Structure 1
Amino acid sequence: MSIRAMLPQEAAEKAIRKEQLFILDVRNAADFADWRIEGKRFQHLNIPYFDLIDGVEEILTQLPEEEEILVVCAKEGSSIMIAEMLAEQGRKAAYLKGGMKAWSEHLVPLKLGDLMDGGELYQFVRIGKGCLSYLVVSGNEAALIDATRMTEAYTDFAAQLNVSIKHVLDTHLHADHISGGRKIAEATGARYWLPAKDAKEAAFQYEPLEDGSELLLGSSVIRIEALHSPGHTAGSTSIVIDGQYLLTGDILFIDSIGRPDLAGHAEDWAGDLRETLYSKYKELSGELVVLPAHFMIMDELNADGTVAKKLGELYERNHGLSIRNEEEFRMLVTKSLPPQPNAYREIRQTNMGILMPDAEQQREMEIGPNRCAVRS
């Protein structure tokens, strides 16, 4: 029986459609516990590769007999060998093409909706890392927000739509992934926007994204308005698009809120975070659709794979928005925090233009799950 390569795209589609998938993950136990392929109906078995070198016979009773088994490792090589062993035992086996590194980099573009004057809004879901980025289209022009380092996914998609990227924005200085914003701006001639309070040490030129900044895009005049909303970083800036959508960066997520500690200012920024969530956002319309820069768990995805909920609904359901006691809130966002993102200091320096790692170093820096949120 032969094996086949399953592309990250197919695995992502299975996750979005909530299909069943059995995964044999042959990475070591610590790596598996830290980060794995998530899906509502995905089943996992973690057996390290070195425990299977002499054969897979002893684990066959733990595997489905008829269902396809997807073997996963870090880069691909080990999973091919184990998948071949399973095939020799008569099992239907596949391996994940490119391994977890490819899974981490895969982007799924999804249409969120039409804008009032004829424009369109798209969300790019980086399903293996939890990153979300956005393309706003109006006429033959586009604006890109919170782009990841996989720049070709955006430029190729813009080319398919026959639009030119005129503006590239980052809602804040990212600490868990490397931004592709400057690279795309340089390649397309677009203007690159970054909150000035996050860019004091930046080694490059940029347009300051400030409270009240307005960008008019394309023939249908889509209004993109900036709203300073500190707390995750000093410069964190939300973006209101066309009076319909609220891009919250890493301040507010669907099932959690942003963490204030990734620049070493947790105590100072906790008050800013509360002010943003409990005062500034409270003044906005509850009908605004919240579009965060990350998601934490697969349950946050809608049926179509998008990540979006109305602001009013989040004030009813998101625990981070219902803590009346200020001291309890401060304890939550400064003390009860998950581990910090891998290499977050180096990622911040890369996004400031201070470090210039090569492509493989960038991949290694980003390995692991998204950890931008406070989990209540």
Structure 2
Amino acid sequence: MSIKPMSAKELTQRILNDHSLFVLDVRNEKAFQDWKIEGMHFEYLNMPYFDLIDGIDHIIDQIPENQDILVVCAKQGSSEMVAQHLVDAGLEHVFFLEGGMTYWGEYLHPVKIADLNEKGTIYQFVRMGKGCLSYMIESNGEAIVIDPSRMITQYLDFAEDIQVQIRYVIDTHLHADHISGGRLLRDETGARYYLPPQDAEEVQFTFEPLVEGVDIPLVEALYSPGLTIGSTSIIVDQQYLLTGDILFIASVGRPDLAGKANEWSHDLYDSLYQKYKQLPFDLIVLPAHFGKVAELGQDGSVQATLDELYKTNPGLKFSDKQRFHQTVAENLPPQPHAYQDIRHTNMGIQKPNEAEQREMEMGPNRCAVQD
């Protein structure tokens, strides 16, 4: 018997197909509690690698014999060694996570959302390990990429597969939880890169202003501040509302990542309770993040109509701005890991290398107010 690698793609399919899996996570307890692989039917055991160097006899009775077992660590090496211990003990169906949590946090799973009325298609890229969502809209051989992650090769490969050229790249706001791939895509493809000018006062690079009335095919920009002063929503084909980080399926965006929670929570309320309420309620909301695997639909996508969210989303049920402001302030989760460094990187102020970027992004996204 031998241990087998499980890729991030294979793990994603198991999650989407509701398969069961026993996860033995050999990172330290703090890392495990902060960020772990989520599956609706997954079981977990966290036991740090250093407690397993001399063997696994003391935990063998906690490991199921007739179930697939996935051993997880940060980068792969430790999980391979522990997985081999399990096989040597006579267990079958033992896997290690290829590339560890590092690769898991970087994999993008493309999902077709729908064909558009105007002869095109919209795709959602689900970053399963990080909870980030980005988009590609293709029409007439050209593509728009919205809120891209830094792993641009995955967008480039997908564009090549569907035979389109990336011509436009959009960030709906200055991101604080992940490093944008916007400038990298611009440099690689020659695309025009758009960013809300209100978020760009300190940026160290040139960009096209993302403002209402901007001339981008299939796209209508709607200024909707709240998470940042520049947050801008995107309406696509009069069918889809890309909300960036101000509205999610089960929560709303947090307005404190630039230290201006007091001012920006009022903007957030106005965007959610005034601007959005003037839009058609049959628009399909496509956010830039999700919080839990349960938010994914059967096809693996994250979406809901605006009408559904006004009925079910706790952040959309306040009738009083002051109560909304107070609730947001009282339910802010911990700041994202290295968020200031990420903001400065997205401004072009800091220029971390690949290893430093990976370290900065380790951990879950924390863009939502906890309900």
State TM-score, norm by structure 1: 0.97
Percent same amino acid among aligned pairs?
Answer: 55
The answer (yes or no) to whether the contact 1:124–1:134 under 8 Å persists in 2 is yes
Q: Distance in 1 between matches of 2:37 and 2:251?
A: 21
- Deviation for aligned residue 1:53: 1.2
Q: Distance in 2 between matches of 1:58 and 1:203?
A: 55
Letter in 2 for 1:320: G
- Deviation for aligned residue 1:214: 3.5
Matched with 2:326 is 331
Q: Distance in 2 between matches of 1:357 and 1:22?
A: 36
1:1-376, aligned counterparts within 5 Å?
1-92=1-92, 93-216=94-217, 223-376=218-371
5+ residue gaps, structure 2, are none
**What count of residue pairs does the alignment treat as equivalent?**
370
Letter in 2 for 1:355: Q
- Deviation for aligned residue 1:213: 2.0
| 335-344 vs 170-179, greater mean Cα deviation | 335-344
- Deviation for aligned residue 1:18: 1.4
- Deviation for aligned residue 1:155: 0.6
Q: Distance in 2 between matches of 1:261 and 1:331?
A: 13
Q: Distance in 2 between matches of 1:39 and 1:306?
A: 15
Letter in 2 for 1:123: Q
Q: Distance in 2 between matches of 1:354 and 1:110?
A: 34
Letter in 2 for 1:44: Y
- Deviation for aligned residue 1:327: 2.1
Q: Distance in 2 between matches of 1:112 and 1:127?
A: 16
Runs of 4+ aligned structure 1 residues displaced above 6 Å come to none
1:4-32 Cα distance to aligned partner (Å, 9 max, x none):
01111111111111111110000000000
Letter in 2 for 1:83: A
| 225-234 vs 55-64, greater mean Cα deviation | 55-64
Letter in 2 for 1:165: I
Q: Distance in 1 between matches of 2:135 and 2:101?
A: 24
5+ residue gaps, structure 1, are 217-222
Q: Distance in 2 between matches of 1:296 and 1:212?
A: 31
The answer (yes or no) to whether the contact 1:178–1:350 under 8 Å persists in 2 is yes
Letter in 1 for 2:141: N
State TM-score, norm by structure 2: 0.99
1:261-319 Cα distance to aligned partner (Å, 9 max, x none):
00000001010000000000000011100000000011110011000000000000001
Tell me the secondary structure at the aligned position of residue 11 of structure 1. helix
Q: Distance in 2 between matches of 1:325 and 1:354?
A: 39
Q: Distance in 2 between matches of 1:339 and 1:61?
A: 36
- Deviation for aligned residue 1:61: 1.2
Matched with 1:220 is none
The answer (yes or no) to whether the contact 1:68–1:91 under 8 Å persists in 2 is no
The answer (yes or no) to whether the contact 1:289–1:310 under 8 Å persists in 2 is yes
1:235-277 Cα distance to aligned partner (Å, 9 max, x none):
0000000000000000000000000000000001010000000
| 167-176 vs 204-213, greater mean Cα deviation | 204-213
Tell me the secondary structure at the aligned position of residue 238 of structure 1. strand
Q: Distance in 1 between matches of 2:322 and 2:196?
A: 29
- Deviation for aligned residue 1:44: 0.7
Q: Give the superposed CA RMSD.
A: 0.7
Q: Distance in 2 between matches of 1:214 and 1:46?
A: 51
